[in-house]
Amino acid sequence: MILMQGKGVSRGVTTGKLYFFKRVDTTVEQRSVDDVEAEKERVRQAQEKSIAQLEVLAEKCRREAGDEAAVLFETHAMFVEDEDYVECINTTLEDEGCNAEFAVQTAGEQFAAMFAAMDDAYMQARAADITDVTRRILNNLMGVAEGGIDSDEPVILAADDLAPSETVQLDKSKILGFATQGGSGNSHTAILARTMGIPAVCGLGDALKNEYEGRVAYMDGETGQVFLDPDELTAAGLKTKYEKQQEMKMLLQEMKGKEDVTLDGKHVNVYCNIGSPEDLNAVLQNDGQGIGLFRSEFLYLASNDYPTEDQQFEAYKAVAAGMNGKRVIIRTLDIGADKQVDYFDLKKEENPAMGLRAIRICLNRPEVFRTQLRALYRASAFGKVAIMFPMITSVWEVKECKRACAAVMKELTEEGIPFNPDTEIGVMIETPASVFVAEDLAKEVDFFSVGTNDLTQYTLACDRQCNDLGKFFDPHHPAVLRALKMAADAAHKNGIWIGICGELGADISLLPTFLAMGMDELSVTPSAVLPLRAEIRKSIAQTCDLKLLEC
């Protein structure tokens, strides 16, 4: 038996073959070839495979988000076969005597540039579609697995760690669990696992070896243990734990349709955190009462170029409409720090967690911000959308954001485009500065949402991504909890509501403390909704206290 000990970051027991995430060099270089017709045949096969993939995606999108959302993939499938596009590829092959990859990339760049140079905004937006189609054909030419996993069966995905831009591309239907050498409980791999409700273990180090590829592993996301060839006693124990886990899931189904209210009548909104429209099914399956955090940056991470207004609008609209009138809080672009996007061309920083990130990028790049705000306000006509600004430290930042919102609403009104002028605006409380000026911020917005991951990081001066800090990164630290209480008091004093959208919101041990603070909303991963509801319904708010705030 081989035992690998790491840190459990998403509970549950699972078993399956280990599959190591493969990073492929997709750099395209020009090469001379002797057989141009063979290269044309390679292109044709890559096109056929691309069309088949897009048809599957369109059908999946139609089932989950409706016909309008599926149109994007259907349009992409048509463009793969566009006569002018294909002719450009073939002409390059014949004139240059080059490899298929170079010809496809050249055609993609020429057509994207042509559309980007047009006067019509709609046609300009098609440049991103062309870039996406070209990337898909190139991936199929180069053997890059769609969704990052080249396996016919679900697997336990192993890696050193996964960047946000990599997690967003994964084919989630093929993942039974995550096992990583590095990472932490706050890594994006861990957050994705909790969103999906599947086990995950990080910090396995060198014990997780590439030579284990293809071997059946048994993983416990609570204890942080990963086993290969477990003995009979260990295997039996894991099987029993898995069966109890399934029984608990069945019992929790009884919580569906019940109110999130304590025994003494205190209502708490239990919402969900999501990263893409694909997560909507998990929200509905777990009976989330709203969406407290839609991480819009994953639309940017999943793209090779700035997502257009229409692309963003379709994503926001799909979620807003899918929630049938329940509140959907969409956080504006939050990149920088550990979430890097190449095409933003951000300068390398010595301390990116405190550098140009989140709302600072938006205020420095007003056109990027304007595009997103237009998409958000357009989506507000299809559901109860709320807009939330991250990394706020000053009142002047909020006022600048509100000015940008006002300008966009004025534009949409003049263009006759419907939107909800009463769309709620909120800010994230995730820095000590925002806590200290919370009373002033509360006068400017409709709600607060506390990002406990970053608030802990900045309050304790602990890098949330550094696994080595261990016990020093303590979200239960009295300083963090007192900051939450200060923010809650400021919100309620000024007549606005406050919630928590960080990972701490799902911490059952802190629920009494949150109730004593008067938290109005807790936004958690979809899989945590029903367990949290069960605890709320057993609680008596009036008996809860704030003892944990004491040192």
* Active-site amino acid positions: 188, 501
User: In this structure, is the dihedral angle defined by the CA atoms of residues 79, 82, 87 and 88, taken in order, positive or negative?
Assistant: negative
Helix 478-493 with 452-460: angle, nearest 10 deg: 120
Q: What type of residue is 460?
A: L
7-10 sheet: strands from edge to edge: 2-5, 225-228, 216-220, 13-20, 155-159, 175-180, 200-202, 7-10
CA–CA distance, 180 with 200 (Å, rounded to integer): 8
Tokens 């909704």 appear where?
529
Burial of residue 82, with CB atoms counted within 10 A of its CB: 0-12 exposed, 13-18 middle, 19 or more buried: middle
CA–CA distance, 352 with 361 (Å, rounded to integer): 12
Q: Which two tokens stand for residue 377?
A: 């306000």
- Beta strands 447-450 and 424-429 are parallel
Distances (CA, A) of 48 to 44, 127, 294, 336: 6, 22, 34, 37
CA–CA distance, 473 with 67 (Å, rounded to integer): 46
CA atoms within 13 Å, Cβ hemisphere of 140: 21
- Quickly list DSSP for 324-349: TTSEEEEE----BTTB--GGG-PPP-
Instruction: Please check whether residue 316 is in contact with residue 375, taking contact to mean a CB–CB distance below 8 angstroms.
Output: yes
Task: Find how far residue 208's CA is from the centre of its chain.
Answer: 26
CA–CA distance, 370 with 515 (Å, rounded to integer): 38
Q: How many CB atoms lie within 10 A of CB 53?
A: 19
- Of 346, 433, 348, 333, the closest CA to residue 389 belongs to 333
Rg for the chain (alpha carbons), in Å?
A: 24
- Of 400, 391, 485, 402, the closest CA to residue 433 belongs to 391
CA–CA distance, 63 with 402 (Å, rounded to integer): 36
Q: How many CB atoms lie within 10 A of CB 90?
A: 16
CA–CA distance, 502 with 269 (Å, rounded to integer): 15
Burial of residue 357, with CB atoms counted within 10 A of its CB: 0-12 exposed, 13-18 middle, 19 or more buried: buried
Would you call 25 helix, strand, or coil by DSSP?
Answer: coil
Q: What is the dihedral of CA 23, 64, 506, 542, to 10 degrees?
A: 170
